Amino acid sequence: MNSGKVLRRGVCATAIAVLVAGPHAAFADEGGTSYWVPGSFGSMAAVPTAPGWSVSTWFYYVNAQMNAPGIFSRDPVLGALPANVAAIPYATQYNTAYQGYISPTYTFKDPVLWGQLALNVTAQVTQSSSTVGGHWLGFASTPSGVQPYTQYGVGGDTISGLGDIAPEASLKWASGVHNFLAYAGFNIPAGLFNAARFSNIGIGHWAIDAGGGYTYFNQKTGWEYSGVVGFTYSFINPSTQYRDGVDIHFDWAASYTFNDKISAGVVGYFFHQLNCDSGSGAFDGCDISQAFGVGPQLTYNFPVNDWQGSLNFKAYKEFWAENRPANWNGWITLTISPPSPS
């Protein structure tokens, strides 16, 4: 079997949890951040793999920006604005993050529910930076009375450390060129989180994500098409009393295998929030978030002694993003696994 066919995608532990002091209220999903990282699944998502231990490591880079118009008289993270600030009418947020992930996986040899069971856990190390600049409407006491004023302010910070942890279980079934996937995972809020910071590398709450997918893979023609849909349910953040709405996400990919070493194609995703955020910390209306992303991918396969290595590059440009920072992101994934079954 072509060595490129064992490449697998796992669930990312968290996104970049950026809590913005000021225009944060314009973002859906707390701080514009969801547990699910769009693009986590890719090519061969539902294709069964070789039994035994394997490990995936990947580097994820994101550069995002969001303009947040509106009048915000209170910040959901810091509470009431400072005494001399009346409102924040407009602000711009910039996010940059470098994230490294590792995901060891054990795939069982014996069938479970007529399918192939795999268990994995994903951990991350992250450096995240955020900068917020905005026009502040304030007031000041003068000899002639209280006078309004406008001021431009900039704030931000950078943090590095361990992020959240995400265990996951999956089942895969194969019938000829048709492959099917069911998965479920959850987020353990083990990352660094502080409601008073601009940047965080954990989302600060538990979350559950589950879904299913399909891969059409024809070894004779070399064509492959994959799609995975999932839903995320978030528990309340005890630090901010903020609960994210339910999210739906769809990751898709298409690729063509040129030979045993190289395949290439396109990847994309759709992310949408189904209902409003809730909790006492979500008091600035119903802001539904969404994002579309699409871009190229390239996979290179190579032997590693008696094992198999696969290196995947992919990038996404985001479009029609609403109520969450968006621009583009890139992934580099290295997977080491047992040889492919015939």
pLDDT tens digits for range 203-221: 899 999 999 999 999 999 9
Q: Considering only CA atoms, which of 7, 17, 5, 4 is closest in space to residue 207? A: 17
pLDDT in tens, 55-86: 999 998 887 776 655 444 444 333 444 444 44
Inside any domain, residue 157? no
Structural domain containing residue 38: 3-62+96-128+162-337
Contacts (Cβ under 8 Å, ≥6 apart) of 94: 64, 65, 130, 131, 132, 156, 325
| Beta-carbon count within 10 A of 187 CB | 29
User: Residues 17-42: what's their mean pLDDT?
Assistant: 65
pLDDT band, very low/low/confident/very high, at 110 (cuts 50, 70, 90): very high
**Residue 7 reports pLDDT greater than 50:** no
Note the pLDDT of residue 62.
Answer: 81
pLDDT value at 135 more than 80: no
Task: Calculate the alpha carbon distances from 152 to 138, 146, 157, 247 in Å.
Answer: 11, 19, 18, 34
Is residue 136 domain-resident? Answer: no
pLDDT of residue 153: 59
Is residue 120 in some structural domain? Answer: yes
- The whole-number average pLDDT for the span 73-100 is 56
Average pLDDT (257-286) is: 90
HSE of 231 in the Cβ direction (CA atoms, 13 Å)? Answer: 5
Is residue 19 situated within a structural domain?
A: yes
Q: Over 60: is that where the pLDDT of 198 sits?
A: yes
- Identify whether 116 is part of a domain: yes
Residue 11 has pLDDT above 80, yes or no: no
Quote helix, strand, coil % in the chain, to nearest 5. Answer: 5, 65, 35
**How much of the chain, in percent, has pLDDT values that exceed 90?**
52
Lowest mean pLDDT among 109-113, 141-145, 220-224, 337-341: 141-145
Quote the number of domains for the chain.
Answer: 1
What pLDDT is recorded for position 13?
Answer: 29
CA dist 6 and 8 (Å) reads: 6
Query: Looking at residue 197, what is its pLDDT?
Result: 72
pLDDT bin (cut points 50, 70, 90) of residue 194 is confident
Least confident window among 81-90, 167-176, 186-195:
81-90
Is the pLDDT at 140 greater than 80? The verdict is: no
* Domain assignment of residue 156, yes or no: no
Per-residue pLDDT band at 167 (split at 50, 70, 90)? very high
List the single range of 17-26, 120-129, 217-226 with lowest mean pLDDT: 17-26
**In 3D, which of 296, 289, 291, 287 has the Cα closest to residue 319?**
291
Q: Is residue 70 part of a domain?
A: no
Per-residue pLDDT at 143 exceeds 90: no
pLDDT number for residue 55: 95
Q: What is the CATH number of the domain that holds 26?
A: 2.40.160.40
Is the pLDDT at 92 greater than 90? The verdict is no
43 versus 156: the higher-pLDDT residue is: 43
Q: Is residue 82 part of a domain?
A: no
